[in-house]
A and B are shown apart, each in its own frame.
Chain A
Amino acid sequence: MSNTRTETSNVLVRFLKTKGSIVIFIVFWLCASLFVDNFFSLDNNLLIIKQAAIPVICCLGITVVLMTGGIDLSLGYTIGLSSIVVGIFVKTLHMPIPLSILLTLLVGLLVGIMNGVIIQVLKVPAFITTLGTGYVIYGLAQIVSSGSNINRLPANFRVVGVTPIGGLNTTVLIALCCCVLFYYLLHMSTYGRSLQAFGFNPNAAKMSGIDTPLLNISVYVLCSVCAALAGVLLTIRVNCAQPTMGNDMTFEVITSAILGGASLFGGIGTVIGSVFGVLSLKIIENCINLLNVSYYTYQAIQSIIIMLAIIFENVKNRKL
Chain B
Amino acid sequence: MDTVLPPVMNSRSLGIALTALCLTPAMHAVSVAPPAARVAVEEPMYVLFHARIQGVLRKVVGRIDGYSLDIPALTWLDVLPTSVAGVSFLAQGLAYDETENRLVFVSFDGWRTTFFARDFATGSWSVLFDDSTIVQMQELDIDHRGVGFAQHRGDQSCLRIDFRAQLVTAVAPVVATTGEAVTIAPNGRVVAIDPDTVMRSIDPVTGAVTTIGTTYLWNLAGLDFAADGRLFALIRPGQLFEVDPNTGALRLVGFVAGVQASGGGGKGAEGISIATRQPPGWSMSCTAGAATLVPFGTGAVGGAQFSLLGSGLPPGAPGFVVVSEVERAPWTSTLFAGELCLGTPIVRIGATLGAASPSGMFHTVLDLGLFPGPHGPVALVPGDVRHFQLWYRDVASTTTSSFSSAAEVMFQ
Do chains A and B stick together as partners?
Answer: no
| A residues in contact (CB < 8 Å) with B | none
| B residues in contact (CB < 8 Å) with A | none
